[in-house]
């Protein structure tokens, strides 16, 4: 049985105000929690079944509070309607500046508001070997439960830095590619070994202040009648073409 105070605290972390106040967030599900325990994140509390705790014993870090619970105890406690055996409370990381390394591609997200889209973009970046994302200050919060869930654990391997994009991009020495409706057909573009790739807002695209700084405008050619592509899907298509058409160094 989970103490009422603990249950209330976990549920409060579904709200941004309290996440910010406590500097903590929730991770749910056996797979994601197992990866979290092995990551650099500080785990404040672990609530898990006897089976999960037995499996994890000796594989992770010291955790201040560990509670053995039943699966039914976890139902409805977090974002998941059902939970397969584990929930953890972890400490947020500070917003640390990131810079592109030599011959490294870094993703830039300009005002991505939908948490599911941001989570999918993080997961997609991880698939294509992109480990850094620069996010506008208006982009959805990394520690939103829907973002964490949609990443399927990729938030542990992809770092985000929230900042003013015009300021960041204006001092960047890297080439800046951006997705537009009127850009060059990505199927016929070639890309440098590294740089910045900008993905814009779901409905408005890349903002004017950011668009002025883009040095390579690209587009995904349209063959059907759909009005637009989901931001996460567009990111996957672009990264796939980028990786296949990178110039060799």
| CA neighbor of 208 nearest in space, from 247, 151, 169, 159 | 169
Q: Given the structure tokens 């796939």, which residue do they identify?
A: 240
Q: How many CB atoms lie within 10 A of CB 172?
A: 17
Q: Which residues contact 174 (CB under 8 A, 6 or more apart)?
A: 100, 106, 194, 195, 196
**Cβ–Cβ under 8 Å, residues 17 and 30:** no
pLDDT above 80 for 80: no
The pLDDT score that the predictor gives to residue 204 is: 92
Q: Give the CATH number of domain 105-244.
A: 3.40.1280.10
Q: How high is the pLDDT of residue 84?
A: 85
Summarize the confidence of residues 143-152 as an average pLDDT: 96
Q: How confident is the model at residue 115 (pLDDT cuts 50, 70, 90)?
A: very high
Structural tokens at position 1: 């049985």
Decide: 66 and 87 in contact? Cβ < 8 Å. no
Asked if 232 and 120 count as a contact pair (C-beta separation under 8 A), the reply is yes
Instruction: Flag the least confident range among 10-19, 80-89, 95-104.
Output: 80-89
* Region 145-170 average pLDDT: 97
Residues 6+ apart with CB under 8 A from 136: 109, 110, 111, 112, 162, 163, 164, 165, 207, 210
Q: How high is the mean pLDDT of the chain?
A: 93
Q: What is the DSSP letter of 141?
A: P
Per-residue pLDDT at 104 exceeds 90? yes
Distance CA 190, CA 245 (A): 5
Residue ranges matching CATH 3.30.1330.30 in the chain = 4-91
Instruction: Please give the pLDDT value at position 161.
Output: 98
Q: Over 60: is that where the pLDDT of 249 sits?
A: no
Residue with the larger pLDDT of the pair 248 and 203: 203
Task: Report the pLDDT value the prediction gives residue 247, as an integer from 0 to 100.
Answer: 62
Residue written as token pair 């509670």: 67
Residue 61 has pLDDT above 80, yes or no: no
At 57, the pLDDT band (50, 70, 90 cuts) reads confident
- Three-state secondary-structure class, residue 196: strand
User: Is the pLDDT at 58 greater than 70, yes or no?
Assistant: no
pTM of the model: 0.94
Element spanning 134, H or E: strand 132-136
Residues 6+ apart with CB under 8 A from 153: 31, 32, 35, 36
Q: What confidence tier does 202 reach under pLDDT thresholds 50, 70, 90?
A: confident
Query: What's the pLDDT band for 177 if we cut at 50, 70, 90?
Result: very high
60: pLDDT strictly greater than 80: no
- In the chain, which residues fall in CATH 3.40.1280.10? 105-244
Tell me the CATH architecture of domain 4-91. Answer: 2-Layer Sandwich (3.30)
């Amino acid at each position: 049985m989970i103490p009422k105070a603990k249950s209330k605290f976990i549920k409060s972390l579904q709200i941004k105000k309290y996440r910010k106040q406590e500097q903590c967030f929730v991770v749910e599900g056996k797979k994601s929690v197992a990866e979290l325990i092995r990551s650099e994140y500080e785990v404040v509390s672990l609530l898990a079944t006897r089976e999960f705790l037995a499996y994890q014993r000796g594989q992770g870090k010291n955790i201040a509070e560990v509670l053995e619970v039943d699966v039914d105890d976890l139902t409805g406690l977090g974002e998941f309607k059902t939970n397969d055996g584990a929930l953890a409370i972890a400490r947020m990381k500070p917003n640390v500046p990131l810079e592109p390394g030599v011959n490294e591609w870094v993703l830039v997200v300009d005002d991505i508001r939908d948490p599911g889209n941001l989570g999918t973009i993080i997961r997609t970046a991880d698939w294509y070997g992109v480990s850094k994302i620069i996010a506008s200050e208006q982009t959805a919060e990394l520690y939103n439960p829907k973002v964490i869930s949609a990443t399927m654990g990729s938030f542990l391997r992809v770092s985000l830095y929230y900042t003013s994009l015009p300021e960041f991009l204006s001092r960047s020495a890297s080439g800046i590619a951006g997705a537009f409706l009127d850009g060059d057909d990505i199927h016929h573009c070639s890309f440098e070994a590294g740089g910045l790739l900008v993905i814009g807002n779901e409905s408005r695209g890349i903002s004017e202040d950011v668009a002025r700084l883009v040095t390579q405008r690209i587009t995904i050619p349209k063959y059907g009648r759909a009005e637009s592509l989901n931001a996460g899907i567009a990111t996957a298509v672009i990264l796939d073409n980028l990786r296949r058409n990178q110039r060799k160094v």
